[in-house]
Amino acid sequence: MARQHERRTIHVDGEWRDAISGATRDIIDPADARPFAVVAEGDEKDTDLAVEAARRAFHEGDWPHTPVTERAALLRRVADLLVRDREELGLLESRDAGKTLEEGRVDIDCVADAFRYFADLVAAEAPGRVVDAGSSDIHSVVVHEPVGVCALITPWNYPLLQASWKIAPALAAGNTFVVKPSEITPLTTIALIDLLTEAGLPSGVANIVTGPGHSVGARLAEHPDVDLVSFTGGLASGVKVAQAAAPSVKKVALELGGKNPNVVFADACATEAGFDTAVDQALNAAFIHSGQVCSAGSRLIVEESIRERFVAELAHRAAKIRLGRGTDAGVECGPLVSEQQRAKTESYVASALAEGAVLRTGGKRPEGLGDGYFYEPTVLDACHREMRVVREEVFGPVLTVETFRTEDEAVALANDTEYGLAGAVWTADAGRARRVAGRLRHGTVWINDFHPYLPQAEWGGFGKSGVGRELGPAGLAEYRESKHVYQNLAPKPVRWFAG
């Protein structure tokens, strides 16, 4: 794997640099709360230099005009390099973000898949869409061009995966970019910039500024020379990004999280195999990566007739989830990413219990795991829609339980959220599955499954889960402008005016 750049983690116009201010930041291992890396702490000045380099590369460089086949070939080389460095990158992702090593490895696989997908997508496209103008003397075609300079602001929970969902389509479309990874988990994104360089990407096309959102992210969002800003993160920050981008009328894509329902009908559990699968998937939905997933199935909405058996078994299994450092053998769930995130989780659980929720398991810090930011997988029963823990995104290992009696009630509960990112329906009735999926106001609906990943399918949400889409053809379209080229092969005077 390409080397990590100790302190020199700002990459502008092909060069690794310190922050202009000389500031640095310690990167903390959430499994033991100790620093294990140091990165440059950039600010507005570093950001301006990066945008300037990206603008120069777009207007004066070759990348926007590079043939599609060559751009696709570079993306495939990047995918091959990711496969080559899978173990090291997976380990780095595990230590930086706190997830298990196996989760880190799977993330790298998904990153490679994203680069291959967008390479294949652009390579297979027609050069333009012919528009029938009704005359053989007219040649009319709609072509796609890169947007320009893209500001890519990524979250801390899936650092490299979320970066790839932005970087791969941006490059496939011929753009240049500045990426700002989360200041908490920047290390694998830094490594990716090295891989892009190794793959042959020209200088100035890919730039990275490590630093906080209030300076680097805010400057990218407002910068007049940025043509598009793509942001993944929390709702409050997303609103600020949109407000900052508005005066320059740049394109904006926002993925802002969710409060995702996992609806379980009794008929899905009519057999022992069906019951076991639904419980197992509910655990996966709620507790993978300690619940720090925008699409986490943190709201279990279960039919009343099976509620007690289902929740009892779920809580029993949740209590057995093995916590620890993600690289240790046998560990199934790592720590939360920071002390701030754990304190936030604790406050939500405390408010839920004060509002009448029933604790079925968890609800505290585990013993014997040192100073890491661990929190037990928590199941809260007897929840209702007035509770904060049900309405707001916790981003921690907390599952709430609500119940329903009828299909209409299940749909109403699932849709009773200001978010609309993802949801799932568990039922043995194919007709019900289609009906309920069609009525759910969520950008992704899984039927008898949770969390499958398909780069060819669009990802994004309704309501306050954001605007725009990532992945799929629509994810590529976010990074393009459409141009209509109308050519008159036999021009004639129009004679609108006397003279």
Q: Residues 294, 257: contact at Cβ < 8 Å? A: yes
Across the beta sheet with 444-447, the strand order is 358-361, 378-381, 398-404, 299-303, 261-264, 422-426, 444-447
Q: At what angle do helices 407-415 and 430-439 cross, to 10 degrees?
A: 30
Contact (Cβ atoms closer than 8 angstroms) between residue 379 and residue 298: no
The span from the CA of 279 to the CA of 317, in Å, is: 9
The residues near 472 (Cβ < 8 Å, ≥ 6 apart) are: 455, 456, 457, 458, 459
Where are any strands of DSSP class E within 201-330?
206-208, 228-232, 251-255, 261-264, 299-303
Beta bridge pairs of residue 146: 480
Strand order in the sheet with 206-208: 15-17, 10-12, 206-208, 176-180, 149-153, 228-232, 251-255, 466-467
Interatomic CA distance for residues 60 and 350, integer angstroms: 57
Catalytic residue among 52, 255, 402, 478: 255
Residue 255 annotated among the catalytic residues of the structure = yes
The alpha carbon torsion through 83, 86, 92, 97 (nearest 10 deg) reads: 80
Sign of torsion over alpha carbons 87, 231, 122, 453: positive
Query: Which residues are known to be catalytic?
Result: 255
